Structure 1
Amino acid sequence: MANKVLPLHADTVGSYLRSAPLKAARAQFAEGNISRAELTAVEDAEIEKLVQAQLAAGIQVITDGEYRRSWWHIDFLENLNGIEGYVPEEAYNFRGVSVRKYNIRCSGKISWNDAHPFLDHFKSLQKIVNGRGIVKFTIPSPNQLMYDYQLNTAVYPNKAAMMKDVQKAYQDAINAFYAAGCRYLQIDDVYWGTLCNNKDLPSFPADKAQALENVQAILSVKPADMTVTTHVCRGNYKSSYRLTGAYDPIADALFAQTDYDGYFLEYDDERSGGFEPLKYFAANKGRVVLGLVTSKFPEPEDKEFIKSRIREAAQYVPLEQLCLSPQCGFASTEEGNILTEEQQWAKVRLVEEIAREIWGED
């Protein structure tokens, strides 16, 4: 499996619905009724079951489902030096639902934490998989620290100064994950989706330029035998979303000027626009992973319709450079989207089946 081109033609974004035993154990831990060691033991057991379920669904790229996290991004970011979690007075809103009150902010100079718990999380996953599949690990993008409210002017004079330290922290993170054995790292990024949504703001050109600089700075240290991909998201909480906007405003930067090995793009509804922005991949050697199968709703997609959409995208990107995945994770937070585990695995199997029929075996 080590010689396969990544992303695979059938791939996955990464998070899965939390199992009932895991939810119960996390609640018990929060209430102080079990120890951290007891929670970890449950997490290990449930991740083993999850790995088996992924293999049974036919997927070759294996993640830990983000089972050890409450949030897809905050758990990683608040364990960097200089970032703290806190409970804000108000939650931010998605379409029709308010997100649980918790967020992050700068509390001091930002740097990589050599004792970051995600390193052990990766090592544990690799041990559990034990060569049965391709291990992929997910972390949030440095761009998740680009929001204005996160800047602490008592620490940094401006956002650009803060992002220099963030870039260095992420360079150190990539090196640390590589040293731990990680060869497939996915960097999840809502900020590009925010830019698509905010394209008419006066700050848009400068913010896009900074986001591009952040990405290229961290990819500059990527080892040659490490695959680093990105997933561009528009928000995923209890089957709701936060952002809209086609890829057109960011395509010239993200698709034509960054050096990711793969780009997981949401294309499950009209919010993401059409495939025309993919023309900016003309000189990009990375693979484009089309998120045409929604992770938000249980209804199964029509297989022939998905195939027709892939053929449509192939007008802009060679078919061999295209892949298929769910549009996002199934549980970007521990609450999860509104579908059953059975429906979740039906979606994963559908991705695998369509990919095999179009591209054959990876």
Structure 2
Amino acid sequence: MHVPDGFINAPVSVAAGVVAAGAVAVSLRGARRELDERTAPLAGLVAAFIFAVQMLNFPVAAGTSGHLLGGALAAILVGPYTGVLCIAVVLLMQGILFADGGLTALGVNITVMGVVTVIVAYALFRGLTGILPRTRRSATVSAFVAALVSVPAAACAFTLIYWIGGTTDIPIGKVLTAMVGVHVLIGIGEAVITALTVGAVIAVRPDLVHAARGLAAPLKLRVDGELIDAPSPSAAPSAAQSPSGAATPAAARSTRKVWATGLVTALVLAGFVSFYASASPDGLEKVAADKGIDKKAEEHAASDSPLADYGVRDVTDARISGGLAGVIGVSATVVVGSGVFWAVRRRRIHGSDTPAAAHHAGENP
């Protein structure tokens, strides 16, 4: 659902940019409370994984494909504030390096694909887990439902923005019907991917799933060949921490294994599996072509990028070209994302969110 340049007029694009910038600013502050010694190293990996899976378009109807939006997955794994930042990093890398999603439409894309999906999915997930038994199965089912609903919600958000600032005169009812119809189907794929990923992480390290911490039945974790109780985030100090708050060597090794496994998976998906993705236009592209929304679409400002359209310029073999582009994209996203989240985490430790800083701030308004 990457909105290109030219779909939305300049005033509304600017307004959406202001909304997106505000959401990112709020998320930067909120992420300081979400990012701890367990999730901070993994937040960049979540962004890279979403980038990789977004390359895997899957067929949803004749001549139409869909791909992961990722807002639900990010919000559940690392929290809603950090989730917004993850999607923003992914969209920024896609727009600058791969000419995917217009640069003037970046605010629209962050608002629709990041803010709306994260808010809807996280609120629904927390609501469902609040009334269902707090078990691994309930968390997985809740992730499925939250992801499923978040995609048509994003389609509705785009339709509203298009109704306000669309550059072509198309009856909004037809746009809404077409967008919601195809994105409900895409939402099923999103739900399956999200549920499988969340369920897999919960099975290994439930303490790394931000929105599912505190499951009723403690799970077992194999560390150095021994089964131990998975660390509880509510324990103080937890099994994964020393009294000083630093991760113990066993916990650190376990986190590194999760990180390494996730990164290798993302590289394989982007560098190899992506070659077999559907080449059909995604839901928005199909609706835009069928309804005439794309009549005033503009050429991307980064269309001359050496990685435009997810291929490496001058590499003639399509498999190698796409694979290299995918590996470069995952690598760049994990580096940029990790840098952002490291800086946010460092700000939490040394900045104004520390108790001492807050105390002094109260003394010196």
Shorter-chain TM range is under 0.3
Higher relative CO (Cα under 8 Å, sequence separation at least 6) belongs to 2
Higher helix share: 2
Higher strand share: 1
Q: With the length of structure 2 as denominator, give the TM-score of the two structures.
A: 0.26
Larger radius of gyration: 2
